[in-house]
Structure formats: C-alpha cells, structure tokens
Amino acid sequence: MPEKTAEKHVTDKAPAPGAVAEAGPAPAKARSLWSDAWHDLRRNPMFLVSSALIALLLVMTFAPGLFTSASPRDADLAEHYLQPPNWGHFFAPDWLGYDGQGRSIYARIVYGARASILVGVGVTVLVTILGTFIGMIAGYFGGWIDSLLSRLTDVFFGIPFLLGALVVLTTFENRTVWVVILALAFLGWTQIARVARGAVITVKQADYVVAAKALGASTGRILMKHILPNALAPIIVVATIALGGYIAAEATLSFLGVGLAEPAVSWGLDVSTGREQLRNAPFTLIIPSVMVSITVLSFLMFGDAVRNALDPKLR
C-alpha cells in the first residue's frame, strides 16, 4: 500500500511541528547535499546490495532471454504437471519446478520481473510528475488555488487506495501494464502532492527566492530554477520508498483478478493461480510470493538508503 510510508508524518498535515523543520533541505548547500549523499551511499552496504538486486531485475526486465531459454508460456501438462523443484539444477527450466499448467516456474519468475519493474517505475515516475506539479502550484500560489487543490488532494486521499484501484481497473476491458500504471498513478499522486506542497511552502520563503522575485524573474523561472531543485529531496525520498509499494500493489491487484491477466506474466497472477495448490504443491505459491517480497524489499532498502543519505538528520 503505497500511501503507507513512514514519511507520512513528515508531510501530512501542515500543523505538525516537526514537519516544517524536517522537510526543508539545507538550501544554502544545495550542491553539497547531493554530493554528500552520493558519498554516503557508496559506503552503505544496504545500498550496494539493493542496487545490485535492482540491477539484476532490470536486466531481467529488458533481456529475460539471458537467464533462461525456456518460454514462460510453453506448457507441457502431460509431462510436467506440478513437477516439484529440482534445487540442484541451477538456472535450468526445472530448477524451481513446474506450475499447475506444466510451465517452468523459473522461466515465469524471470519473465514476470518485467511487469513488476515497469509498473513500479512507471507509476513512480507518473506520480512524481503529477504530484510535484500539483503540489508546487498549490504551495507556491497559495490562496484559493491552494484551497481548491488541497481539497482535491483530500478527496483522492480519502478514497481507500485498494478499493479505488479495484473499481478503476474493473472499468477497463484490456488491462495492459500501461492501464495498470495509469490507474495506480491516478489514485496515488496525493502523497507526493502533499510533500511537494509542504516543501515548496518552506522553500518559497527563502531569501534567494525573495531575491529572485525582486530581480523580476518570471514565475516559471522561479519555479523551475529556484524552487523545484530545492524542494526535490523530500519528494525523491518519498517516491523511492513508494516504488516498492506500487510493485506490491500490482501483485495484489493481479492476485485479486483485476490487475494484469493471462497471457501476461506477472508474479501476482502466479500467486493467485498457485493458491489452489496451497495444500498439494505449495512451491507454486511460495516461489512467486517470495519473488515479490524480494523485489519490494530491494526497492525499500534502496529507498531507505537514499532517505538516510538525503536527510542526514534522521541518522
């Protein structure tokens, strides 16, 4: 559930006393914040491990053929129905066994990475763009625009995410990866919008913004050149951590039957197929479940490391 990240308290309601102080990056040392962060990250084992895993998943996404010669769709019911894993055969089609359709689970794991990664990254990018835009407008202009946009944010925030996604996705006939991305982004932008608004409100009172205004810079220039770069850190922190949540959301929705559908390959789908075998052949359920968890974990660790680096106060 993406809206549940630990950052919520930081950004949630304007009156939170800690919020204002925490959300503001150190504006005067903008450049060194990023380079400092990079310096920290390189030494963080959590970051290194998670980056390696993510890199692996990215390669799976774009070149699954490198990992297996088996196809995720080829089924041989007569020969391989629910054949248990052969743990010694590393990277062979029968390594992780075969599912209830007689398909290689290993191949499905490899090809399933694509859906998870595309949805995770796609939703995060869209949500960041949309949320930042709305939050910036609301935070910078204030007044009735802020009231209006904030209420709009409240409306979307008030709709339970899972319920909303269920309803929205049911309306679509052909649920491709892109539809899932759009639907999740449609419901998920509120958190970033709130963070961005809070950050912008803090930044806009900074001296250099006042100075730029006094020098007659255009609104667009102020927003893009001065406000955005300085409000970016908290947004990136929230976005990276939410990414794992979107991957989990895709798996959950596919599991519930409203996400991706056959013949698309998705771990969530495989979990829902495997649930019938919980008593009989539990590996068909457990292996894709573990894969979802590892992937979400990688992105969470990654996000955590980035947060620690960008927000030194938390250490």
Partner 1 sequence: MGRYVARRLLQMIPVFIGSTLLIFLMMYALPGDPVRALMGDQAFDPAVVANIRKDLGLDQPILQQYANYLGGLFQGDFGTEIGSQRPVADIIADAFPVTIRLTLFAFAFTVFVGVGLGIVAGLRPDTLQDRGLLTLTLVLISMPSFVLGFLMQYLFAFQWQLTTPTVRDSMNFGELMLPAIVLGSLSLAYVARLTRTSMAENLRADYMRTAVAKGLPKRRIVGVHLMRNSLIPVVTFLGTDIGNLMTGAIVTEGIFNVKGVGNAIYEALIRREGATVVGIASLIVLVYLATSLLVDLLYAVLDPRIRYA
Partner 2 sequence: MRGAKSAKWVAGAITVALAATACGGSGGEDSEGNKGSGPAGYVSIDVGEPQRPLIPADTNESNGSYVIQSLFTQLLDFDAKGEIVYTNAESVETQDSKTWTVKLKSGWKFHNGEAVTAKSYVDAWNWYANIKNNQQNSFWFADIKGYDDVHPEKGDPKAETMSGLKVVDDTTFTIELKDRVPYFNYKLGYATWAPLPKVFYDDPKAFGQKPIGNGPYEFQKWDHKKLIQVKAFKDYQGPNKAENKGIQFKNYSTLEAAYKDVVSGNLDIIRQVGPTDLPKYKQDLGDGAIEQPYAAIQTLVPAFYSKTFKDIDPKVLQGLSMAIDRDTITKTVLNNTRTPATSFTPPQVKGNQTLDTDIFTYDPAKAKELIKEGGGVPGNKFTIQYNTDGGHKEWVTAVCESIRKATGVDCVGDPKPDFATDLEARDNDEVKGMYRGGWVADYPVNVNFIKELYHTKAESNNGRFSDKEIDDLMAEGDKASSLDEAVKAYQEVEKKLVEKMPAIPLWYYRINGGHGEGVDNVNVDFHGDIELPQVTVK
Ramachandran bin of 142, using left for φ above 0, alpha for ψ from -120 to 50, beta for the remaining angles: left
CB 47: neighbour CB atoms within 10 A?
Answer: 19
Cα atoms found within 13 Å of the Cα of residue 195, Cβ hemisphere only = 33
Q: Which stretch binds partner 2 (CB under 8 A): 14-22, 39-47, 74-82, 183-191?
A: 74-82
Q: Where are the alpha helices (DSSP H) in the chain?
A: 8-11, 17-23, 30-43, 45-62, 77-80, 105-141, 143-158, 161-170, 177-188, 190-204, 207-214, 219-221, 228-256, 267-274, 283-310
Site string for partner 1, 231-250 (x = CB under 8 A): -------------x---xx-
User: Binding to partner 2 (CB under 8 A): which residues in 227-266?
Assistant: 255-258, 261-263
The two structure tokens encoding residue 92: 């062979």
- 44 makes contact, choosing from partner 1, partner 2, none, with CB < 5 to 8 Å by partner type, with none
Q: Does 75 bind partner 1 (CB under 8 A)?
A: no
- Closest CA relative to residue 250, chosen from 173, 185, 172, 313: 185
What is the footprint of partner 2 within residues 90-129 (CB under 8 A)?
100-102
Coil vs helix vs strand at 249: helix
Which residues, 6+ apart, have CB-to-CB distance to 210 below 8 Å? none
Among 26, 28, 66, 314, binds partner 1 (CB under 8 A): 314
Does 221 participate in binding partner 1 (rule CB under 8 A)? no
297 binds, among partner 2, partner 1, none (CB under 5 to 8 A by kind): partner 1
43 binds partner 2 (CB under 8 A): no
Dihedral through CA 38, CA 39, CA 45, CA 50, nearest 10?
10
**Tokens (6 digits) for 281:** 């052949």
**151 interacts with, out of partner 2, partner 1, none, CB within 5 to 8 A per kind:** partner 1
Q: Is 163 a binder of partner 2 (CB under 8 A)?
A: no
Strand partners, 104: 98
Indicate which of partner 1, partner 2, none lies near residue 276 (CB less than 5 to 8 Å, by partner kind). Answer: partner 2
Contacting residues toward partner 1, per CB under 8 A: 1, 3-6, 8-10, 12-13, 15-18, 151-152, 154-156, 158-164, 166-168, 170-171, 173, 244, 248-249, 251-252, 255-256, 271, 275, 278-279, 282, 285-286, 289-290, 292-294, 296-297, 300-301, 304, 313-314
Contact footprint for partner 2 (CB under 8 A) = 73-75, 77-78, 81-82, 100-102, 169-170, 173, 255-258, 261-263, 272-273, 275-280
